[in-house]
Structure 1
Amino acid sequence: MKIKICLLLFASTTLFAQNLSEIIQALEMSKRVTSMKEQSKSSIAQTKLLGAYDAPYLGLSISHADESSDKGEEYAVGISQDISHPFTNKSVAVDAKTKAIELGSSYNLDMLSLDIAKIYHQACIRKEISLSLKSLYEEQNEGYLRLQRAHALGEISKKELLFNKLDLAKTKQSVRTYKRAYLAKLSSLNESVDNLTINDLACDDLIRITKEVELKEVQEHALIKKISYEQSSANSFYNVYNSTFSTIGYELLYEKELDKDRYTFGLSLPLDFLSSKAQMQRTELMHLDASLMAKKDALSIEIQNYLSASSIRLKALYEEFVVLEEEILPLSLELKDLAKKSLKEGHSSVLEYLDATRSYTKIVLELQEIKKDYYNELIELYKKADMRERL
Structure 2
Amino acid sequence: QIALEKEKLEGQLNQLRQTLSHSKKYLLSLGDFSQNSTFSCDDLSLIEKPNVSDNDALALTAQAYDKRMASVQKGLQRYGKTFDTVELSAGYLKELNRDVYNIGISIPLNFSSKKYEYERAFLMQHASAIALEKEQLLGAKLREIDYLKAKLLQNYHAILLEQKLIDSHNNRLLPMINKSYRYGESTVVEYLLAQQSINHLEEKLLEEKKAYYRSFFNLLTLQEKQ
TM value normalised by structure 2: 0.70
Native 8 Å contact 2:181 2:191 kept in 1: yes
Matching residue of 2:61 = 223
**Cα distance change of structure 1 residues 200 and 284 upon mapping to structure 2, 3 Å threshold:** farther
**Cα distance change of structure 1 residues 370 and 165 upon mapping to structure 2, 3 Å threshold:** closer
Matching residue of 2:130 = 292
2:14 aligned to 161, 169, 179, which one? 169
State the Cα deviation string for residues 280-318 of structure 1 (Å, max 9, x = none). Answer: 333222111111112222233333333333333222222
Counterpart CA distance in 1 for 2:8 and 2:21 is 20
The answer as to 2:176 corresponding to 1:331 is no
Native 8 Å contact 2:177 2:191 kept in 1: yes
Matching residue of 1:363 = 201
Quote the offset at 1:218 in angstroms.
Answer: 5.0
Q: Which runs of 5+ in 1 are unaligned?
A: 1-155, 191-196, 246-269
**Cα distance change of structure 1 residues 206 and 241 upon mapping to structure 2, 3 Å threshold:** farther
Q: In structure 2, what residue type is equivalent to 1:331?
A: S
Bigger relative contact order (CA 8 A; separation at least 6): 2
**Cα distance change of structure 1 residues 209 and 348 upon mapping to structure 2, 3 Å threshold:** same
Counterpart CA distance in 2 for 1:182 and 1:308 is 25
Matching residue of 1:39 = none
Q: In structure 1, what residue type is equivalent to 2:8?
A: F
Q: In structure 2, what residue type is equivalent to 1:292?
A: I
Quote the offset at 1:367 in angstroms.
Answer: 1.5
**Cα distance change of structure 1 residues 205 and 276 upon mapping to structure 2, 3 Å threshold:** farther
Counterpart CA distance in 2 for 1:287 and 1:352 is 75
Counterpart CA distance in 1 for 2:132 and 2:141 is 14
Native 8 Å contact 1:215 1:385 kept in 2: no
**Cα distance change of structure 1 residues 356 and 174 upon mapping to structure 2, 3 Å threshold:** same
TM value normalised by structure 1: 0.43
Which SS does the other structure have where 1:365 is aligned? Answer: helix
Residues matched between the structures, number:
201
1:214 aligned to 43, 47, 52, which one? 52
* Percent identical residues: 22
Counterpart CA distance in 2 for 1:241 and 1:350 is 89
State the Cα deviation string for residues 61-89 of structure 1 (Å, max 9, x = none). Answer: xxxxxxxxxxxxxxxxxxxxxxxxxxxxx
Q: Which runs of 5+ in 2 are unaligned?
A: 85-107
Quote the offset at 1:228 in angstroms.
Answer: 1.3
Counterpart CA distance in 1 for 2:79 and 2:126 is 14
Native 8 Å contact 1:272 1:278 kept in 2: yes
The answer as to 2:37 corresponding to 1:200 is yes
Which SS does the other structure have where 1:338 is aligned? Answer: helix
Q: In structure 1, what residue type is equivalent to 2:191?
A: Y
Counterpart CA distance in 2 for 1:175 and 1:220 is 38
Aligned ranges for residues 256-295 of structure 1 at < 5 Å?
Answer: 271=109, 276-295=114-133
1:178 aligned to 6, 18, 23, which one? 23
Counterpart CA distance in 1 for 2:32 and 2:122 is 44
Aligned ranges for residues 54-203 of structure 1 at < 5 Å?
Answer: 157-175=2-20, 177-178=22-23, 181=26, 185=29, 200=37, 202=39
Counterpart CA distance in 1 for 2:115 and 2:35 is 58
Structure 1 segments, 4+ long, off by >6 Å, are: none
Quote the offset at 1:235 in angstroms.
Answer: 0.8
Counterpart CA distance in 2 for 1:329 and 1:176 is 17
The answer as to 2:153 corresponding to 1:308 is no
Counterpart CA distance in 1 for 2:174 and 2:203 is 15
Counterpart CA distance in 1 for 2:204 and 2:17 is 18
